[in-house]
Amino acid sequence: MTVRFCSLASGSSGNCHLVHDKDHFILIDAGLSGKQIENKLKEVDVDPRNLSAILVSHEHSDHINGVGILSRRYNVPIYANTGTWEGMGCKIGKVKEENIKNFVSNEDFYIGDFNIRPYRISHDANEPVGFSIKKKDIKISIATDLGYISEDVIGEIEGSNLVILESNHDEEMLKAGSYPYSLKRRVLSNMGHLSNEAAGNAIVELVHKNVKSILLAHLSKENNFPELAIATVKNILENKKIIVGRDIELDLLYRDRVSNIYQF
């Protein structure tokens, strides 16, 4: 059965992705308002009443803004680990007890035919994770909000048909920009966000780990722009004799629009 992915939004103003087959519709994070998510789901012909689950990667507001309202409105279970529940429980409002689902980082669980693997990442949150979502031989991995991409993370996402990979900022734009020094340090740290260059270097590794397609995600509004992210990554790949369109497929996710639909 076909597996589909699309992003409803990706960036510091809100993150929300959708993976589904014909029976199960899974949101990964819900960082927009409930109304915005409802409208964007309708753009891709998904009825929010059919949502099966919301997976939460960590408790930052751009990942949880719509979690509580969607759960209450459509009786949707919320899946998060203990650290994330501790960080977001007071922020999302009251949730039905039966919709509070705990997973354990680095341990698989199932939603319908989907095998979900939440893997640990480095970010300044309580217990942040990325997700690999598998159905039979289809694997989709989400690796955003991570200060660096470790060999453990590479191992978790290798062999993916599709990887959503952070390409947050251009380092020179960030250093010269208007962010306060403390915020610049945070973004550049190993608990912050991946730069375009770091994303490109990670993709070099992933090409050799049988990853088929990459979507650059979580681009900063202030310290990046789409053309620069793509150009930086392509330049790094070409220097390693890796050709986009031949060795790897490369595309972008946006802050303010629904992405293409990727079907497997």
Could you tell me if 28 and 131 are in contact, meaning their C-beta atoms sit under 8 angstroms apart? Answer: yes
Average pLDDT of the segment spanning 125-139: 97
Alpha helix (H) residue ranges in the chain: 34-43, 61-64, 67-74, 82-88, 151-157, 171-176, 181-188, 196-207, 226-239
Predicted local distance difference test score (pLDDT) of residue 78: 98
Take residue 170 and report the two structure tokens written for it.
């251009």
pLDDT classification of 80: cutoffs 50, 70, 90? very high
In percent, how much of the chain has pLDDT > 70? 100
Average pLDDT of the segment spanning 100-105: 98
φ, ψ of residue 22 in degrees (nearest 5):
-75, -15
Query: What gap in Å lies between CA 103 and CA 115, rounded to an integer?
Result: 12
Average pLDDT of the segment spanning 72-76: 98
- Domain that residue 138 falls in: 4-263
Give the chain's mean pLDDT.
96
Predicted local distance difference test score (pLDDT) of residue 128: 98
pLDDT tens digits for range 139-191: 999 999 999 999 999 999 999 999 999 999 999 999 999 999 999 999 999 99
Take residue 2 and report the two structure tokens written for it.
């076909």
Q: What is the DSSP string of 182-202?
A: HHHHHHHSTTS--BHHHHHHH
Strands 78-80 and 51-55: parallel
What lies within 8 Å, CB to CB, of 103 at 6+ separation is 79, 80, 81, 109, 116, 118
Query: What gap in Å lies between CA 50 and CA 10, rounded to an integer?
Result: 22
| Residue 106: pLDDT over 90 | yes
Query: What gap in Å lies between CA 137 and CA 220, rounded to an integer?
Result: 33
Number of independent structural domains in the chain: 1
| Residue 26: pLDDT over 70 | yes
Average pLDDT of the segment spanning 187-209: 95
Residue 98 DSSP code: G
Q: Can you name the residues that pair with 17 across neighbouring β-strands?
A: 7, 28
pLDDT classification of 1: cutoffs 50, 70, 90? low
| Residue 67: pLDDT over 90 | yes
Which residue's structure tokens are 């990942």? 63
Average pLDDT of the segment spanning 70-87: 98
Take residue 156 and report the two structure tokens written for it.
């978790």
Closest listed residue to residue 32, CA positions, set 59, 57, 12: 12
Take residue 244 and report the two structure tokens written for it.
């986009």
CATH, residue 156: 3.60.15.10
Average pLDDT of the segment spanning 74-85: 98
Distances (CA, A) of 58 to 149, 151, 218: 17, 21, 14
Query: What gap in Å lies between CA 221 and CA 151, rounded to an integer?
Result: 29
pLDDT tens digits for range 114-124: 999 999 999 99
Take residue 76 and report the two structure tokens written for it.
């949707």
